[in-house]
């Protein structure tokens, strides 16, 4: 073969490949254009000929949501009218008066459940149990709670006019709070668990949240803390940068803590700690559970992989994905998954199987075949991928009876706390308040007059078995057995409550304290009765001996 022919063959092959790629790209563009045109024509036909009036905007929104939900649970479209949602995601802030509210069907008024600490609601004198009849002159009775909440929110600096019936006195007053930017702090509460152990409850990773954590660590060290507990239970995550800055508090400057890998080359990133640490040697325990997700898992995974601390609790959620924002026409925003993140050992905490999830969305059982072994970078301990971060020591939280969930879900405990607030001007500090026998007996009396499902889980299951037995024609032959068992499993409403005194007293105390001392007080109170924290602390202290 002549040299000219040898040269020409690769050129021909290259030309063929380019043609194929071009054809492939054109094919994709054609299919996209074809599908978009089909959708447009479908909408035109529906609008012109469908038998009933068609809300095109609603149909399009439904189509967009369905399209994105087929990808993963985290890719969503945020229209311009929901920009407040976007602000809440990134800053944990919104414009409003700062209070949780509820509407009760018996009066259809807006009831203040809990004003937030130093919020316009609190500063203007709104209290738990107060009822709002009008917002800026508009009667609230026709509207649901969501609509009323939107009416209360608005641009910081603008004034609200609220017609209020005071919960304690019944007096009718007009209150005029001025809206502010309401911010939920990432550090809900911090303090000393004992003479030498500091504790920080971290609820998220929003803008400047790491600065709050850094300040808390510094303050706790000044108070004598020689070891630290970072509580990330129920922390859903947030900004990756804030997670890295939080890690910089405990790790040497320049430490690689997370790697991000995406489809686009611009999304390939390696994150290192860039700030001066507060303490790289202090014994550290991180507490997690199945609701610790995303940035919480970044922090937990790095601490574990770098052998910087002890991880206690339960397996984390299993969300190893990074979301980015794409600006769309008409001020819409697309929040989409752009990458996966990897801990320092190289593992991804993303649950491989989306379908294998628990009721709360967290990762379920992971088959050994889907796990890969990795090694921590200092001690060479085995850690695994496949979904979530497995703690170094699994410590279960307290379990709750069915009646407890029913009392919480039906707001019976919250309603009692509001009534308690109406009847009592003050209580002891969060660290000293206790639910006495007298308080609990009053709760039993209060709850016994409320409607809620007080059946035990075993009785509820038995009733389903009886239903199935009747369907299958087996009931008559076992009726005596079923009746006897049902009688043994049936308790009165009061018995169901008293059988769960310890657990219910803990939750009642939390709700009461929150009404007087806000969310920080609620956390401070809950810590002293936290069974999972207590058990984890025993293991942590033994390790430090």
Show the 3-state SS of 66-123. HHHHCCCCCCEEECHHHHHHHHHHHHCEEEECCEEEEECCCCCCEEEEEECCCCHHHH
Given 245, 319, 335, 422, which residue is catalytic?
Answer: 319
Q: Is 528 a catalytic residue?
A: no
Q: Are 100 and 135 in contact (CB under 8 A)?
A: no
Phi then psi dihedrals of residue 36, to 5 deg: -65, -40
> Is 294 among the catalytic positions?
yes
DSSP assignment string, 348-365: --S-S-TTSB-TTS-B--
Catalytic residue among 210, 290, 292, 294, which? 294
Alpha-carbon distance 519 to 364, whole Å? 31
Q: Which of 166, 161, 168, 167 is nearest to 136 (CA)?
A: 161
> Using CA atoms, how far apart are residues 386 and 363, in angstroms rounded to an integer?
9
- Among candidate residues 130, 231, 305, 415, the one labeled active-site is 305
Answer yes or no: are the C-beta atoms of 75 and 91 closer than 8 Å.
Answer: no
Q: Is there a contact between 198 and 212 (Cβ–Cβ < 8 Å)?
A: no
Pairing of strands 284-288, 310-313: parallel
Backbone angles phi, psi at 133, to 5 degrees: -95, -35
Cα–chain center distance at 181 = 21
The H or E element that residue 269 is part of is strand 269-272
Q: How far apart are CA 432 and CA 286, in angstroms?
A: 26
β-pairing verdict for 197-202 and 227-231? parallel
Structure tokens at 517: 């001392």
The set of catalytic residues is 294, 305, 319
């Amino acid at each position: 073969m002549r040299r000219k022919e040898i040269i020409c063959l690769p050129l021909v092959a290259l030309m063929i490949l380019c043609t194929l790629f071009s054809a492939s790209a054109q094919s994709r563009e054609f299919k996209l254009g074809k599908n978009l045109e089909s959708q447009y024509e479908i909408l035109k036909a529906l609008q012109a000929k469908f038998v009933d009036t068609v809300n095109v905007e609603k149909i399009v929104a439904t189509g967009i949501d369905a399209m994105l939900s087929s990808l993963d649970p985290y890719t969503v479209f945020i229209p311009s009218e929901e920009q407040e949602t976007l602000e809440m995601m990134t800053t944990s802030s919104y414009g409003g008066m700062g209070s949780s509210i509820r509407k009760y069907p018996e009066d259809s008024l807006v009831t203040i459940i809990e004003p937030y600490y130093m919020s316009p609601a609190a500063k203007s004198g709104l209290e738990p149990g107060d009822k709002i009849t009008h917002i800026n002159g508009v009667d609230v009775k026709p509207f649901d709670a969501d609509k009323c909440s939107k009416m209360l929110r608005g641009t910081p600096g603008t004034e609200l006019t609220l017609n209020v019936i005071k919960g304690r006195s019944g007096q009718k007053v007009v209150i005029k709070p001025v809206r502010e930017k309401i911010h939920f702090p990432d550090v809900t509460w911090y303090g000393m668990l004992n003479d030498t152990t500091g504790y920080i409850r971290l609820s998220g990773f929003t803008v400047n949240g790491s600065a709050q954590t850094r300040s808390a660590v510094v303050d706790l060290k000044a108070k004598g803390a020689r070891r630290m507990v970072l509580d990330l239970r129920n922390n859903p995550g947030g900004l990756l940068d804030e997670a890295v800055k939080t890690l910089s508090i405990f790790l040497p400057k320049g430490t690689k803590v997370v790697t991000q890998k995406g489809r686009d080359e611009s999304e390939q990133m390696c994150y290192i700690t860039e700030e001066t640490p507060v303490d790289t040697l202090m014994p550290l325990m991180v507490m997690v559970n199945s609701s610790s997700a995303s940035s919480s898992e970044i922090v937990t995974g790095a601490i574990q992989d770098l052998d910087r601390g002890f991880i206690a609790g339960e397996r984390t959620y299993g969300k190893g994905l990074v979301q980015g924002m794409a600006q769309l026409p008409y001020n819409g925003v697309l929040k989409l998954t752009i990458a996966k993140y990897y801990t320092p050992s190289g593992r991804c905490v993303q649950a491989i199987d989306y379908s294998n999830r628990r009721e709360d969305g967290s990762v379920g059982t992971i088959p050994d075949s889907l796990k890969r072994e990795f090694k921590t970078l200092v001690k060479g301990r085995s850690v695994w991928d496949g979904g979530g971060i497995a703690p170094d020591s699994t410590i279960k939280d307290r379990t709750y009876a069915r009646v407890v969930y029913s009392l919480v879900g039906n707001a019976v405990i919250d309603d009692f706390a509001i009534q308690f607030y109406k009847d009592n001007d003050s209580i002891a500090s969060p660290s000293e308040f206790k639910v006495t026998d007298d308080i609990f007996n009053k709760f039993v009396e209060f709850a016994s007059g409320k409607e809620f499902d007080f059946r035990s889980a075993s009785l509820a299951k038995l009733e389903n078995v009886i239903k199935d037995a009747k369907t299958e024609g087996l009931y008559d032959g076992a009726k005596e057995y079923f009746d006897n068992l049902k009688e043994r499993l049936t308790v009165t409403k009061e018995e169901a409550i008293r059988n769960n005194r310890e657990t219910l007293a803990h939750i009642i105390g939390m709700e009461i304290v929150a009404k007087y001392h806000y969310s920080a007080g609620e956390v401070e109170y809950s810590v002293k009765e936290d069974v999972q924290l207590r058990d984890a602390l025993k293991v942590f202290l033994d390790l430090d001996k």
